[in-house]
Amino acid sequence: MRAIAERVFASETKDENVRDEISMFDVPEDCPILQTEMAHHLHTDDNKEKRWAGGSVTMDDFEVSCKGLFRALTIREKYMKLAYQRFPRTASQYLRNVEGESFKIEDQLQPDFTPLPKSGEDPFDFKTLPKNLGYVARMKEGLIYVYNDAAAADKHQPKDLPCPDYDTFIDDMNFLIALIAQGPTKTYTHRRLKFLMSKFNVHEMLNEMEEMKELKLNPHRDFYNCRKVDTHIHAAACMNQKHLLRFIKRSYRVDADRIVHKLNGKEVTMKALFESLHLHPYDLTVDSLDVHAGRQTFQRFDKFNAKYNPVGASELRDLYLKTENHINGEYFATIIKEVASDLEDAKYQYAEPRLSIYGCNPAEWTKLSGWFVKHRVFSPNLKWMIQVPLCFVQKRHNKYYRYICRNFVPHFGKMLENIFLPVFQATIDPQSNPELSIFLKHVTGFDSVDDESKHSGHMFSTKSPKPEEWDIVKNPSYTYYIYYMYANIAVLNQLRRQRGMNTFLFRPHCGEAGAITHLLASFMTADNISHGLNLKKSPVLQYLYFLAQIPIAMSPLSNNSLFLEYAKNPLLEFHKKGLVVSLSTDDPMQFHYTKEPLMEEYAIAAQVFKLSTCDMCEIARNSVLQSAMSHEEKAHFLGTDYLKEGPEGNDIRKTNVAQVRMAYRFETLCYELNLIMEGLKAEITTFPSTLEHISIFS
Amino acid sequence: MRAIAERVFASETKDENVRDEISMFDVPEDCPILQTEMAHHLHTDDNKEKRWAGGSVTMDDFEVSCKGLFRALTIREKYMKLAYQRFPRTASQYLRNVEGESFKIEDQLQPDFTPLPKSGEDPFDFKTLPKNLGYVARMKEGLIYVYNDAAAADKHQPKDLPCPDYDTFIDDMNFLIALIAQGPTKTYTHRRLKFLMSKFNVHEMLNEMEEMKELKLNPHRDFYNCRKVDTHIHAAACMNQKHLLRFIKRSYRVDADRIVHKLNGKEVTMKALFESLHLHPYDLTVDSLDVHAGRQTFQRFDKFNAKYNPVGASELRDLYLKTENHINGEYFATIIKEVASDLEDAKYQYAEPRLSIYGCNPAEWTKLSGWFVKHRVFSPNLKWMIQVPLCFVQKRHNKYYRYICRNFVPHFGKMLENIFLPVFQATIDPQSNPELSIFLKHVTGFDSVDDESKHSGHMFSTKSPKPEEWDIVKNPSYTYYIYYMYANIAVLNQLRRQRGMNTFLFRPHCGEAGAITHLLASFMTADNISHGLNLKKSPVLQYLYFLAQIPIAMSPLSNNSLFLEYAKNPLLEFHKKGLVVSLSTDDPMQFHYTKEPLMEEYAIAAQVFKLSTCDMCEIARNSVLQSAMSHEEKAHFLGTDYLKEGPEGNDIRKTNVAQVRMAYRFETLCYELNLIMEGLKAEITTFPSTLEHISIFS
């Protein structure tokens, strides 16, 4: 298996420069792989493949594909459960059915998010923090272990917190790498996806009017008062360019004589700072501010990153867009609270901004949470996430380029320790760091960020150096990062769940660019992802994301400025096929023009892709499901049965999604899952895949 | 000439159903007409063509084209002057040069618009109305004539107000019809347009950074605080769907028990009205309101028109979107004032809403102006226009379909009389109808509306029946309408100019669909147009619109819902070639999603077409030039030299358009005009077409 995986990996690394060619994971549109080629493939593939496929070479391609897809789903299910992440109930029921077991509703795990404070409750209340468990947490081989005490730690006798087994994980990964390159499965999934597309088109032609009728008869609710969540947005770019400009001008009117910065070791006033930049804020415009992405940033992530510096000056980025600076991040907190206040006014819009932890220094968490608590940066309309830039080392493209961890830590293991150890410690003894503990209550997950298109060339395998051994000036691969992020989150969630604390989701940036293996790693580890553009390149993964209903936060306006022209964005295609997509803004400062960036995102998608109201409301519903809103909020915004799948989980009065649409989606998913079960030829009782009351093809 | 025109016309009428084929006016992209074919064309064309082309059949094709284009420009110049409409100074200078005359700045006529009331001045002040001239106005053969008194009128001895000569107009039109179908000219203009496109692309590659640098150094001004005018918007759809919905709900909360409507002859309260529709406003949503265009309206103008009825109920349209109803249009006035107040708050946005005069009844003007004055519907951010639906008769597509003039007037002449006579009378004796006179001060022009794709089949010629003879249940052709609208406006403007009153522009909807001849008629008569999509189909007209710098208000989002998919919109192409385009919303109620429809329009164009800041600011500047803002406002918003063409007319501190761009545009225009002059081989001194200080290809 490892040999196949290496071959596949090597071929992909090579492919990186020939983007337009058809990669190993793709199927040419006009010429699907033929039966003969598939047969050939089966004969030449090595024995291991035959073994896992479970039979002789004469076996039916259909069966091969189904067994592979089945196993892929069980792999994801396993890793989701381990980390208290989500796996759809319907798929689980099918999997149990195949295994001859019965599905129990209790088996379905859900993440825990802190509910909104009740009226009169203070979200920053220190008093209710749980007491110290006295455990000890230590990092070993890139993973944090929890011990009863220091003695147990010294002997490495960790507590029984299930964590992923390293070798099994690599095995599972290699299996999936082989699967996505396997001829029969590529052909099978390609055909199923084509079918899903055509089926939706037929559904649309037959039922569009029916859906519209349902929505017209649905009182009080329309697209405007459906809840929608901006599922992917960076705090440092969550305001639009005009907002930032106005804020800078306003701050100058009030604070010109205030000491706000240290320039060459000397404290200076805002006036002096602007003078040193040869600027007067009155003259400043969005043009001179220069934070908006333009034609220059397309395919240039480095140029894009430089856009985070207002007027190209890192001093202004420090002053206005950082949590740590001479004024303790006061301006940044104020700007975020203004954005939050706009969302609260709009009432139906929410956002999940990301704040950075770099792992360069163990004090980062304390500083960040200190900022959060000091400025009381809380809003019911914001759900917080932590983003970890995947850049252990990075070449400086220009003088403003970002943080380089390698200068601060001796090895990659230390970076991981800086990221996770403080969180474990605050979980074990919340009162030891009350501000961090409060902040963690409001943190809902981890994201990864960075330019995925820089391929590291390293293949993650059993032979990979352990994080403590990774001391070279070279970045680990995306998959390597992802594994260690996931594994630590999984253990952390086990511990937090035991203590009745909120858990964290893993929601990395994935598939914006770079290798297909990124999407494979996220299939194994992530609750949901951002971007996912590259699913276009692998029918097997695309089909698996569909079967497992993995939410994808897409940002077509961001892509339009960076990686992919708007009209070519696969959002519409994914949506039609039944993948769970939501719309997000990524960086309003760089991409958007209006005061309501999320509405701008929806409006443009609606116009360019000619989305119907039902489409838009379905995408909005997806965004709430994908988000880290608490159970109480989701029940309030989507209906109390939202955890049920299919039409019974939909409350049209809250979501404005037609039941006809929900029935179509559910039937379609069940049909595809059923097909896989049939391919396995196991003795399964036919699953109820038709809904008697709502016949969509009538 | 007439024979050619008829042949061309007939061929086009036939072509209507084969839109994808190349029409007589078009040039195939991949296969430009060859020299041989051109020669053939010259040999077979009849003598008249040779005569106007001014020489023998051996003459050079280039010369033929240039002579034709030259004459076309002189035709437009003539009709613009006659009606106090605009013709660019640069083109006039070239024309005079060819004619061996000298250009005098006084020859350049400008329309007159009422300036904003000075501080403390009341825009509704009746006292300053001029006194009665005692003239008599009467309609004869579709034209209003002004006489000294009734006796002169009876003898038809009109005052000397120049008006277009009917036969000359038809001659000019036939010349232009022949020109746009003429092989050499088609090929020549096609090549010039291709060249203009490539030249702009080169300019962009060379100077993009230079332009951006200029803008970055330009203090205080950016795209957000550049003035932009929504150059084409219908008052009855000027609010977005959410605004209308909120207004309806709010009105119900306040006015449920107010008598607002007459239902089957009985006065009813708002509550009773909604009950009769089986509706409660609380339950109303944008879906049930159903005023938004969707996929259903594409290529279906009839379905689109029905969208003007909230909840499909014409009663609600009457109540909320009409000036004439049981509450004297109070709600409509309030909604418009709310839209105006939003624009005033946004500060840099303006709009030119259209109100309807149908011509079914001579009292329409009095009622409309009564509404305007009663509710004081004035805002410095609104410039008013009158739209005349071009529908003398119209089949009813469904029960909600619109007004049919033929039921109210005996012939088309009466419709024209109803449209123009009251305006002439108020111009002659303002005090006889003070409300109308006040209203006319704020009216800036006339627009035409209706579905252009319905081709009437009638060809406008010297044999056409006079308007008084047009009593059949059939619509006159677009050209016929346009001629009579233009001719009356021209005379009216002469009279108003004599009295020192503001004049009116003719700004019809043109080229949204239908025959190419529409764009030809507007080339002769209109100061500027809305839509212009069909310029795509005729290189000759497209090039003429470029040479004469005729502004075009484009609405790509409207087109996207009705006639043409967004990505296929020619806006970007026109802009690159140097046609003067502006962005407008057309009907925010039907097409837009956000609170700022004009910004939504700009944002989407910027994203889809990847416009630079300079592009956007140039389009915004075009919109101010195209608009009917007063001279004082234009000078304030664009700079005091705005009437000068080229970079010296641009004040970058006000417009944020780079001088490099302005120089490029001016040089390019002069180069093309020069080329035509050269083709004429007249003894002209070379015109200064290069600007020494700003060399764009450096």
- Tens digits of residue pLDDT in B144-197: 999 999 999 999 999 999 989 999 999 999 999 999 999 999 999 999 999 999
Residue in A222, A285, A593 closest to B599 by CB = A593
Instruction: Answer whether B595 sits within 8 Å of A600, measured CB to CB.
Output: no
Rounded CA separation A65/A51 (Å): 14
Q: For residue A273, which phi and psi values (nearest 5 degrees)?
A: -60, -50
SS (H, E, C) B9-52: HHHHHHHCCCCCCCCCCCCCCCCCCCHHHHHHHHHHCCHHHHHH
List CB contacts (< 8 A) between B285 and chain A.
215-216, 218-222, 225, 656
Q: What is the DSSP letter of A362?
A: T
Q: Where are the beta strands (DSSP E) in A107-217?
A: 136-140, 143-147
Predicted pLDDT of residue B688: 41
**Structure token digits, residue A686:** 């036919």
CA distance B214 to chain A (A): 10
Where is average pLDDT lowest: A205-219, A400-414, B371-385, B465-479? A400-414
Q: What ipTM goes with this model?
A: 0.86
Q: Over pLDDT 70: what percentage of chain A?
A: 87
Report DSSP letters for B340-371, one per residue. HHHHHHHSSEEEEEEEE--SS-TTHHHHHHHH
CB contact under 8 A, A603 and B610: no
Contact: A287, B208; criterion CB under 8 Å: no
To the nearest whole Å, the CA of A557 is away from the closest chain B CA by 7
Of A223, A285, A566, the CB nearest to B286: A223
Reported as a single tens digit per residue, the pLDDT across A504-524 is: 999 999 999 989 999 999 999
Per-residue pLDDT tens digits for A255-268: 999 999 998 889 99
Pairing of strands A349-356, A259-263: unpaired
Tens digits of residue pLDDT in B319-328: 999 999 999 9
Contact: B594, A599; criterion CB under 8 Å: yes
**Residue B462 pLDDT:** 86
Residue type, A192: R
Identify which of B668, B657, B672, B658 has the alpha carbon closest to the alpha carbon of residue B691: B668
Neighboring chain B residues of A607 at a CB cutoff of 8 Å = 557, 560, 566, 604
- Considering only CB atoms, A593 lies closest to which of B560, B603, B608, namely B603
Q: Is B156 left (phi over 0), alpha (psi -120 to 50) or beta?
A: left
Residue of B nearest to A312 (CA): B216
How many degrees, rounded to 5, is the angle at CA B478 between CA B476 and CA B480? 60
Pick from B307, B299, B343: nearest CA to B591: B307
With tokens 């929410």, the residue in question is A350
Q: What is the pLDDT of residue A694?
A: 36
pLDDT at B17 over 60: no
How big is the A-B interface in CB pairs under 8 Å?
Answer: 127
pLDDT at B662: 98
Weakest mean pLDDT among A170-174, A278-282, B421-425? A278-282
3-state secondary structure B483-516: HHHHHHHHHHHHHHHHCCCCCCEECCEECCCCCC
Q: What is A203-227 written as a DSSP string?
A: HHHHHHHHHHHHHHHS-S--GGGS-
Residue B396: CB atoms within 10 A of its CB come to 10
Q: Estimate to the nearest angstrom the gap between the alpha carbon of B125 and the chain centroid.
A: 30
Asked if the model's pLDDT at residue A158 lies above 60, the reply is yes
- CB-based contacts of B20: which residues, under 8 Å, 6+ apart? none
In angstroms, what separates the C-alpha of A305 from chain B's closest C-alpha?
Answer: 19
Angstrom distance (rounded) from CA A618 to CA A659: 11
- The confidence score (pLDDT) of residue A399 equals 34
Which residues in A lie closer than 8 A to residue B607 (C-beta atoms)?
Answer: 557, 560, 566, 604
Helix axes B166-180 and B478-498, enclosed angle (nearest 10)? 130
**How far apart, in whole angstroms, are the C-alpha atoms of residue A194 and residue A577?**
8
**d(CA A127, nearest CA chain B) in Å:** 44
Measured between CB atoms, which of B208, B218, B290 is closest to A216? B290
Whether residue B467 contacts residue B408, with contact meaning beta carbons closer than 8 Å, is answered with no
CA-based nearest residue in chain A for residue B226: A285
The pLDDT of residue B3 is 74
Rounded CA-CA distance B551/B580 in Å is 5
Distance CA B112, CA A14 (A): 68
For residues A175-202, give the mean pLDDT. Answer: 96
- The catalytically annotated residue of A292, A531, A575, A592 is A531
- Check residue B298 and give its pLDDT: 79
- CA A624/CA B138 separation, integer angstroms: 67
**Residue contact A607–B604, C-beta within 8 A:** yes
Tell me if B223 and A286 make a contact (CB, 8 A cut-off): yes
Tokens of B92: 């006039």
Q: Which residues pair with A647 in a beta bridge?
A: none
Q: Name the residue in chain A with its Cα closest to that of B216.
A: A288
What does the pLDDT look like over B585-633, one tens digit per residue?
999 999 999 989 999 999 999 999 999 999 999 999 999 999 999 999 9
- Checking B93-101 for CB contacts under 8 A at 24+ apart, the result is B93/B687, B94/B673, B94/B674, B94/B676, B94/B677, B94/B687, B95/B70, B97/B677, B97/B684, B97/B685, B97/B687, B98/B70, B98/B677, B98/B680, B98/B682, B98/B684, B100/B682, B100/B683
| Nearest-CA distance A326 → chain B (Å) | 28
Q: Is the pLDDT of residue B212 over 90?
A: yes
Active site residue A575: no
Residue pLDDT, tens place only, A29-71: 443 333 444 344 444 444 434 333 333 323 578 999 999 999 9
Task: Give the tens place of pLDDT for each residue, A611-629.
Answer: 999 999 999 999 999 999 9
pLDDT in tens, A455-493: 666 778 888 899 999 887 778 889 999 999 999 999 999
| Distance separating alpha carbons of residues A241 and A254, to the nearest angstrom | 20
Q: What is the mean pLDDT of chain A?
A: 88
Q: Fill in the amino acid letter for B463.
A: K
User: Cβ B608–A567 below 8 Å, yes or no?
Assistant: yes
A287: number of Cβ within 10 Å: 25
- Taking every pair of C-alpha atoms in chain A, what is the biggest distance, in angstroms? 82
Please give the pLDDT value at position B12: 60
Phi, psi angles (nearest 5°) of residue B216? -65, -30
To the nearest whole angstrom, how far is the Cα of B290 from the nearest Cα of chain A? 8
CB atoms B220 and A592 under 8 Å: no
Interface probe with A: pick from B296, B342, B555, B593, most Cβ of A within 10 Å: B593
Residues of A within 8 A of B294 (CB-CB) are 610, 612-613
State the residue for tokens 């051994």: A469
Distance from CA of A603 to the nearest CA of B (A): 6
A610 contacts B593? CB cut-off 8 A = no
The whole-number pLDDT of residue B305 equals: 79
Q: CA A572: distance to chain centroid? A: 19
Q: Where does the pLDDT of residue A13 fall: very low under 50, low under 70, confident under 90, or very high at 90 and above?
A: low
Q: How many other CB atoms sit within 10 Å of the CB of residue A355?
A: 22
Beta-bridge mates of residue B384: B443
Residue B607 to residue A212, Cβ atoms within 8 A: no
Provide mean pLDDT across the span B236-240: 95
In angstroms, what separates the C-alpha of B604 from chain A's closest C-alpha? 6
Q: Is A606 helix (H, G, I), strand (E, B) or coil?
A: helix
Least confident of A90-94, A231-235, A687-691, B340-344: A687-691
CB < 8 Å to A345, chain B: none
Check B600 against A594: CB less than 8 A apart: yes
Return the residue of A nearest to B599 by Cα: A594
Q: Note whether B593 contacts A603, CB cutoff 8 Å.
A: yes
Q: What span, in angstroms and rounded, lies between the C-alpha atoms of A459 and A151?
A: 37
What's residue B690's pLDDT? Answer: 37
The three-point CA angle A9-A10-A11 to 5° equals: 90
Taking alpha carbons only, the member of B393, B311, B381, B378 closest to residue B346 is B381
A281 to chain B nearest CA, in Å? 9
pLDDT in tens, A385-430: 999 988 777 654 433 334 456 578 889 999 999 999 999 999 999 9
Q: Which residue has the tokens 């309003």?
A: A588
The beta-carbon neighbor of B594 closest among A290, A603, A608 is A603
Which of B285, B561, B564 has the most A C-beta neighbours within 10 Å, making it the best mutation to test the interface with A? B285
* Residue B401 in this model has a pLDDT that exceeds 50: no
Residues of chain A found within 8 Å of residue B290, distances taken between Cβ atoms: 216
Task: Check residue A108 and give its pLDDT.
Answer: 87
Establish how many alpha carbons lie within 13 A of residue A356's alpha carbon, considering only the half-sphere containing its beta carbon: 18
pTM of the model: 0.89
3-state secondary structure at position B385:
strand
Distance CA A308, CA A403 (A): 13
From the list A221, A283, A592, which residue is nearest B285 (CB)? A221
Q: Which residues of B are catalytic?
A: 531
Out of A54-63, B249-258, B340-349, B610-619, which region has the weakest mean confidence (pLDDT)?
A54-63
**Contact call for A607 and B557, based on CB within 8 A:** yes
> Do the chains contact at A294 and B612, CB–CB below 8 Å?
yes
- The answer to whether residue B440 scores a pLDDT higher than 50 is yes
Testing the interface with B: which of A285, A576, A599 to mutate, by most B Cβ within 10 A? Answer: A285
Residues of chain B in contact with residue A221, where contact means CB-CB under 8 angstroms, are 285
Contact check, Cβ <8 Å, A594/B599: yes
Q: Which domains does chain A show, CATH number per domain?
A: 111-160+357-507 (3.20.20.140)
At B33 the pLDDT is 37
**Residues of chain B with C-beta less than 8 angstroms from the C-beta of A557:** 607
Q: Check CB contact under 8 Å for A566 and B608.
A: yes
Query: Per-residue pLDDT tens for B28-73?
Result: 544 333 344 434 444 444 443 433 333 332 357 899 999 999 999 9
CB contact under 8 A, A286 and B599: no
The answer on pLDDT for A647 being more than 80 is yes
For A659-672, what is the mean pLDDT?
A: 98
CA distance B17 to B660: 45
Distance of CA A415 to the CA centre of its chain: 21
User: What is the DSSP track for B640-682?
Assistant: TTTTS-SGGG--HHHH---HHHHHHHHHHHHHHHHHHHHHTT-
* CA nearest to A657 within chain B: B287
Q: B669 pLDDT exceeds 90?
A: yes
Closest CA to B25 of B255, B180, B148: B180
pLDDT band at A590 (very low <50, low <70, confident <90, very high): very high
